[in-house]
Amino acid sequence: MNRIASLSILLMGQNAIAQERPNVIIIYADDLGYGDLQCYGAKNVETPNVNKLASQGLLFHNVYACAATSTPSRYSLLTGEYAWRKPGTDVAAGNAGMIIRPEQFTLADVFKSQGYATGAIGKWHLGLGDKTGTQDWNAPLAASLGDLGFDYHYIMAATADRVPCVFIENGQVANWDATAPIQVSYEQNFPGEPTGKNNPELLYNLKPSVGHDMSIVNGISRIGYMKGGGKALWKDENIADSISAHAIEFLTCHKNEPFFLYLCTNDVHVPRFPHQRFRGKNKMGLRGEAIMQFDWTVGQITDALDRLGLRENTLIILTSDNGPVVDDGYQDQAEELLNGHKPAGELRGYKYSVYEGGTKVPAIVSWPGKLAKTGVSETLISQIDWMRSLATLISARMPKGAAPDSQNHIKALLGEDDDRDYVIGLAQDHTLSLRTKDWKYVEPSKGPASLSWAPGVETGYKNEDQLFDMAHGDEYRNVAADHPHETALLKSLLQKERK
Ligand code: NG6
Ligand code: CA
C-alpha cells in the first residue's frame, strides 16, 4: 500500500483508525530553538539522530508552542486549553501545587481511555501536591501525575534550576534518603545552609549570572531553598542519562501493548551541565554540548524502538516548549561562544518574546510508512491542537468541555496541508499575538523592551498595535498603519478569542 492510501484509510473511518493504535512518543525539548538543530540549519553542532528522524519523516517550518515559557506552554499542550484563560499558569516554582486539576481531562487521559499505557518522564514544571508550599516531600504526595492519567511517572518537579533537586517517581521522591529528610521553601533559607549568595566558594560546577543564588546542590546554586535530600539529590551531569534509562525501561515494559510516552528532556535549559562524555566536544561550550546531549537522548529512544521492533508502529513527535535563550542566568559562556550560531535561526526574538523566536519551534514527526509525505511541511500548526488531533487518531472520545481550544488537525501532523486559521502566542508578560498564514498581529503591551534577568532578549512589547507581513517573512517592519483593515480584523479575532 502506498503512503497516501494508508493515510486515507487511517483518516477514513473510526474503525480503520482504531486498528492502527500506534504508540505515541512526544519528545519535548526545553528551550531548544528554531535554529539549534543541524536539520534546521545549525552549523556549529551536529545532531545526527534528530537529522535522521527528520530525513525519514516530516520537518515542520510553522509549528508554534502555545507560550514563550515552559509552564503555560506545557499546560496548553496537556489540556488543550490556552494557559491565558487560566490564572496561575505562569512559570511555576518547585513547590507549586498541581496546576492541572485531577478533574481536568488531559492528553494522558485521552490515551488511557483507549487502553494505552501512559508515562511521563523528565521535566514536569506543572506543580505537584494539593497546595503550594504545603508538600511533605518525605511521603507520597497528595496529588500527582497519577491523578492526571499517567500510569508511570519519573519527573523533575520543576526545572533543574529550581529546588527540589530530586527525581519523583510515581508521586514519591526516588531514592529517598531516610537520613536526610527533605525540606523546601521559596521564602526563606534553612538555618545554617549555604547559599550561592553567601558561599560562592562552594560553587564548584557553575556560577549564576542573575538570580539563581539560593540553595547549592552539586556545586550549582538554584532558585529556592532546600535542605536534605542526601542520596536522592541529582547530579546535573547524569540527568539526561537518568531520563533516557527510565524511558527505555518504560518502552521495554510496554512493548506488547500500545503506549503513550510524554518524554521531556532537561536539555537545553539552564543550568547547562551535560555529562562528561560531551564536555569539550563542541566549540559553543556547554550550550552546544547540551544540544549534543539532547540529540544523544533522541538516539537512545530510536535505537531502543529499533531493538524492540517497535519503530514501525510508533509515531514520534519531537518539538520544544518555547524558543531559545542564550544567557538565562548562569555564567556558562553561552553568549561568548556562539561563534556565529543563531539559536532562533533568522527569527526575531527569543524565549519570553512575543516575536516568532519566542514560540516558533522546531518540530519533527516520524512514523515510518504512514505519513502522507516526507520532507518539509509549511502547514501552520499550534501545539494547542495536538490533544484533539491525537484523540482523533486513536478514536478517543472526549468529555464535553474538555480541551476547549483544541481543534482536530491530525492531517496536518501526518503531512497534509491543513493550516490552522490562526495561532495564538503568549509572551512572558501575557501579551498575546495572533498569526495567520499571511499576517501577524501583536497587541499593545506596557511591558519592558528588554528583560533585566535575560539580557539579549528582545521582548517585542510596544504600547501600540503591531502588524507584520508574514507572507514575506518580515517581522521587522510594523505595517499596522499601512494595513488598518488587517490590523482591525486580527485584533478583533483576538478579542473574540479572549471572551
Ligand atoms: C526565569 C529564570 C530562568 C528560567 C526561567 C524559566 C532567573 C534569573 N531566570 O525566572 O533561568 O528558569 O525562569 O524557564 O531566575 S522555563 O523554560 O522553565 O520557562
Ligand atoms: Ca522552556
Dist. CA 210–CA 369, nearest whole Å = 48
CA 375 – ligand 1 centroid, Å: 34
Dist. CA 68–CA 355, nearest whole Å = 9
Q: What percent of the chain has pLDDT over 70?
A: 96
C-alpha cell belonging to residue 453: 534577568
CA 267 – ligand 2 centroid, Å: 9
CA 266 – ligand 2 centroid, Å: 9
Residues, CB within 5 angstroms of ligand 2 (ion): 30-31, 70, 321-322
Tell me how many degrees the CA angle 239-245-248 measures, rounded to the nearest 5. Answer: 140
Identify the pLDDT of residue 10: 46
Dist. CA 247–CA 253, nearest whole Å = 10
Ligand 1 contacts CB of residue 388 (under 6 A): no
Ligand 1 contacts CB of residue 93 (under 6 A): no
Q: What is the pLDDT of residues 267-276, one digit of tens each?
A: 999 999 999 9
CB atoms closer than 10 angstroms to residue 484: 11
Residue 11 has pLDDT above 70, yes or no: no
Identify which ligand lies nearest to the alpha carbon of 31.
2
Identify which ligand lies nearest to the alpha carbon of 328.
1
Dist. CA 163–CA 66, nearest whole Å = 25
Ligand 1 contacts CB of residue 31 (under 6 A): yes
Q: How confident is the model at residue 89 (pLDDT cuts 50, 70, 90)?
A: very high
Ligand 1 contacts CB of residue 73 (under 6 A): no
Residue 291 has pLDDT above 60, yes or no: yes
Q: What is the pLDDT of residues 139-164, one digit of tens each?
A: 999 999 999 999 999 999 999 999 99
Ligand 1 contacts CB of residue 270 (under 6 A): yes
Q: Are 230 and 182 in contact (CB under 8 A)?
A: no
Residue 429 has pLDDT above 50, yes or no: yes
Identify the pLDDT of residue 499: 86
Identify the pLDDT of residue 451: 97
C-alpha cell belonging to residue 492: 478583533
Number of alpha carbons in the 13 Å side-chain half-sphere of residue 150: 22
**Beta-strand relationship, 375-377 and 58-64:** parallel
Ligand 1 contacts CB of residue 223 (under 6 A): yes
Spatial neighbors of 133 by CB under 8 A, at least 6 apart, are 95, 97, 185, 186, 187
Q: How confident is the model at residue 2 (pLDDT cuts 50, 70, 90)?
A: very low
Separation of CA 25 from chain center? 13
Identify the pLDDT of residue 19: 52
Residue 183 has pLDDT above 60, yes or no: yes
Residue 355 has pLDDT above 50, yes or no: yes
**Beta-strand relationship, 58-64 and 314-320:** unpaired
Mean pLDDT computed over every residue of the chain: 96
Query: Which helix (H) or strand (E) segment is 363 a member of?
Result: strand 360-366
Q: How confident is the model at residue 5 (pLDDT cuts 50, 70, 90)?
A: very low
Ligand 1 contacts CB of residue 211 (under 6 A): yes
